[in-house]
A and B are shown apart, each in its own frame.
Chain A
Amino acid sequence: MWGILRRSAVDGGGFSASSLRRTRFSLVSARSYAAGSKEMTVRDALNSAIDEEMSADPKVFVMGEEVGQYQGAYKITKGLLEKYGPERVYDTPITEAGFTGIGVGAAYAGLKPVVEFMTFNFSMQAIDHIINSAAKSNYMSAGQINVPIVFRGPNGAAAGVGAQHSQCYAAWYASVPGLKVLAPYSAEDARGLLKAAIRDPDPVVFLENELLYGESFPISEEALDSSFCLPIGKAKIEREGKDVTITTFSKMVGFALKAAEKLAEEGISAEVINLRSIRPLDRATINASVRKTSRLVTVEEGFPQHGVCAEICASVVEESFSYLDAPVERIAGADVPMPYAANLERLALPQVEDIVRAAKRACYRSK
């Protein structure tokens, strides 16, 4: 049992002894840690979430390229075509602009589409519909048109896929009022947030990560229940600490937790916050944590300028300036289109060592 718990703490499942004190920050109750033997991959978590929501509400349907007969480009929609038929699991022609516009139109008329982009890089061909037809509609129509749509798909860097397949779009979408933007990390995040997104009456951009799909996380009984749902707009404190706050989302949460382990060996207790929700951003949790630790390291995979980290820095400086004991540290991807060569790619993305060094700088332990 200990072995499982320790491994999951390293992997970022967040199951450590101190996590019992965190229950007020997440819906996962204490009893689930005792059970802790069930594991689920993020892929299965997403698949089960979509399956359960489709089963519960006949208005939910899935559309995208290869989602049906191919079982999904990343197998997230596996088995859904057989279960729900081609009218609810719709294989589209290759036109992101087309199927996004059509999904938005279906949402206008009362259906609840879950639109899959093979990667969010391709959503750029549809971004007009996401912003101008979905995000702004409720406001422009004064509440007459609401758009209960979910746009989901892998976001950010994968491995060796080059510039046009690796960009992180969290900052782009999170800057638009009218959208909600979510970024799950663990299997529990994936299930709870996707279910919340599908049930939400507003348009939601759901940013997954290809490299996390195959990763397994412990999952509680509560999270396996079909009515399980996580609140949108609440971050999760994955690991409590008192010396420095590290905020991040998606795959970087795993890196931050590894960094926290390394820092613990050097006597620095890092608090790791998994943002879960980029818009609305849980400024309250972030600021409360910074007021406790007085130091902030904010991490993201995407480009540095105008990134999510920039917004977090601004928020902390605005609200918790007098609590800061050190300048805010910001770790982001390199300001270049993602190179393909494996060595260059590694250098273009934040690594565990970068986070460790930044935390030490914030603690004045190194230059």
Chain B
Amino acid sequence: MAQHLKSSSKSILLNILRHNIGFSSPSHASRHLRHNLPHGPLTTRLSPNPITRYCNTMVDTLSSIGSHEDTNSQVMDFPGGKVAFTPEIHFISESNEERVPCYRVLDDNGQQLTNSQFVPVSKEIAVKMYSDMVTLQMMDNIFYEAQRQGRLSFYATAFGEEAINIASAAALSPDDVIFPQYREPGVLLWRGFTLQEFANQCFGNKSDYGKGRQMPVHYGSNKLNYFTVSATIATQLPNAVGAAYSLKMDGKDACAVTFFGDGGSSEGDFHAALNFAAVMEAPVLFICRNNGWAISTPTSDQFRSDGVVVKGRAYGIRSIRVDGNDALAMYSAVHEAREMAIRERRPILIEALTYRVGHHSTSDDSTRYRSADEIEWWNKARNPLSRFRTWVESNGWWSDEAESDLRSKIKKEMLEAIRVAEKTEKPNLNHMFSDVYDVPPLNLREQELLVRQAIKSHPQDYPSDVPL
């Protein structure tokens, strides 16, 4: 995109400035040529009246179309760039004739398609991916049952979306910061969050990193670069753009990655985040889990566009539609997207098509608004685990024995994790008042004293299982 560097002397100057300022992206350099002039021998005064703040590279591209040779080309300069005129009254259709095709590598039975392009995966990674998908599914099963038994207050499963969870995590680096919605615990699992740590958060005990402050499945881990789940829908999208901007300013080899559902794409924050990310040139991946349902709202009631992938172009964002139940396709798409995002400093939109096999949460019974047959079909015929397993086994990397070993190991670990988590003490009373601010202010310290005095005077009125 360096068409606007017209003379070699200008590029020499740019190189000098780049060394002084420390920017390496050409799309930035000319903007900074005007504004970020360092104090010192190169300039003695502030930049002259800047008319255009940005070298709009799109302007340059269009200007080369209706070029000086063709004087009859009917082109005019509007704010934002040159546009060609047309004498025909033509409305752009509300949708393309064909829907955007969906990238996949494996067919429905897990056989690799003959002309498929994908990023190769080593045995180690493939086995870890498959094992983690199984672990995620079993963890969800057992926690869901625990809620049904009354041992947990709430849970939300990721059934059907295991490939999206694990494969995307596998394609990222540990330095990439994750801004989840709430159906992506697999990313944490991949990065090393243990079953015990998941259980601790769900039971809200004193080992919970969240200090018992949030509902189950609202995980977070500073160490693993996974921002604590916030239940408000799509608010994490602009947050991710801000974090990406910060990573860019720091020159880190990392991007921000944010997940959201088909429903989340209706929020105002979706629009603001995508628009902004494109303007700011922020290295962020927007991964949409289009699973067909937003609680009971099907996608036909959510939007009238061809899914979410076509919205990327409206903001000037490169986009791809992927088969979200194909682990290899997800891995490749995220891998490539990450490269582009960081190297070219741009946002990328990935729409992963999938199906929400489970209910929205334990507070929902989805058979009320969709047929049990439909759910069963997706669970059996389009299961991401069995598809990927076929491929892994075809490479000789997995077996029935490995499967049953893994499953019994996880079951044991899970039951132990729940047993321990349930027995562990709840967080201490002082955690009711800590972390509201960086340093507890006087009024909160006073409140805590008052509560403690009240408990001392009337112990029978207070729960006995809250440690003081």
Give A contacts to B, CB under 8 Å: 61, 68-69, 81-82, 85-87, 90-93, 95, 97-111, 113, 128-129, 132-133, 137-146, 177-178, 180, 200-202, 233, 280, 283
Contact = CB atoms under 8 A, between A and B. Distances in A.
Interface in B228-253: 228, 230, 232, 235-247, 249-250
A85 B36 contact: yes
B196 to A, nearest CB: 17
A143 B46 CA distance: 42
B437 A98 contact: no
Given A105-B238, A108-B243, A92 B227 contact: no
Closest 10 CB pairs of A and B: A98-B272, A101-B238, A105-B242, A105-B239, A106-B242, A85-B36, A109-B243, A102-B242, A141-B228, A109-B246
B241 A105 contact: yes
Contact of B441 (A137, A142, A233): A233
B242 A109 contact: yes
Name the residue in A95, A132, A133, A141 with the highest tally of chain B Cβ atoms < 10 Å from its Cβ. A141
A108 B227 contact: yes
Given A82-B47, A146-B438, A140 B210 contact: yes
Given A87-B249, A132-B230, A143-B434, A102 B238 contact: yes
Contact of A145 (B220, B242, B249): B220
B32 interface: yes
A101 B239 contact: yes
20 contacts: A68-B53, A87-B36, A87-B249, A97-B268, A99-B238, A99-B276, A101-B239, A101-B269, A101-B272, A102-B242, A102-B245, A102-B276, A103-B242, A105-B245, A109-B177, A111-B242, A141-B227, A144-B220, A145-B222, A280-B442
A280 B441 contact: yes
Contacts of A92: 276
Contact of A110 (B36, B246, B434): B246
Given A101-B273, A138-B437, A280-B442, A86 B36 contact: yes
Interface of B: 31-32, 35-36, 46-47, 50, 53, 177, 179, 208-211, 213-214, 218, 220-222, 227-228, 230, 232, 235-247, 249-250, 256, 268-269, 271-273, 275-276, 279-280, 431, 434-438, 441-443
B436 A138 contact: yes
Contacts of A111: 242, 245-246, 249
Nearest to B36: A85
A81 B36 CA distance: 9
A126 B31 CA distance: 29
A141 B236 CA distance: 14
A85 B441 CA distance: 37
A99 B241 CA distance: 9
A109 B431 CA distance: 24
Nearest to A148: B438
Contacts of A144: 209, 220-222, 228
Nearest to B214: A140
Contacts, number: 168
Name the residue in B214, B218, B228, B242 with the highest tally of chain A Cβ atoms < 10 Å from its Cβ. B242
B233 to A, nearest CB: 10
A95 B46 contact: no
A93 B276 contact: yes
A97 B211 contact: no
Contact of B436 (A101, A106, A141, A177): A177
Contacts of B46: 82
Contacts of A102: 238-239, 241-242, 245, 272-273, 276, 280
Given A82-B47, A86-B53, A98-B272, A142 B435 contact: yes
B216 to A, nearest CB: 14
Given A82-B35, A91-B53, A140 B269 contact: no
B388 to A, nearest CB: 33
Contacts of A107: 242
Given A93-B276, A95-B276, A143 B239 contact: no
A68 B209 CA distance: 40
B64 to A, nearest CB: 26
B242 A108 contact: yes
Nearest to B268: A97
Given A108-B243, A140-B218, 12 more contacts: A81-B35, A95-B276, A98-B273, A102-B242, A108-B242, A132-B232, A132-B235, A133-B235, A140-B213, A142-B213, A145-B228, A200-B438
B448 to A, nearest CB: 13
Given A101-B238, A106-B245, A109-B177, A142 B209 contact: yes
A140 B210 CA distance: 7
A105 B467 CA distance: 35
A138 B272 CA distance: 24
Contacts of A177: 436
Contacts of A108: 227, 239, 242-243
Contacts of A104: 238-239, 242
A106 to B, nearest CB: 4
Contacts of A143: 211, 434-435
A280 B446 CA distance: 13
A178 B242 CA distance: 21
A140 B220 CA distance: 10
Contacts of A109: 177, 242-243, 246-247, 256
Given A93-B279, A111-B246, A105 B228 contact: no
Given A105-B243, A109-B246, A133-B232, A97 B238 contact: yes
Name the residue in B36, B214, B271 with the highest tally of chain A Cβ atoms < 10 Å from its Cβ. B36
A104 B227 CA distance: 12
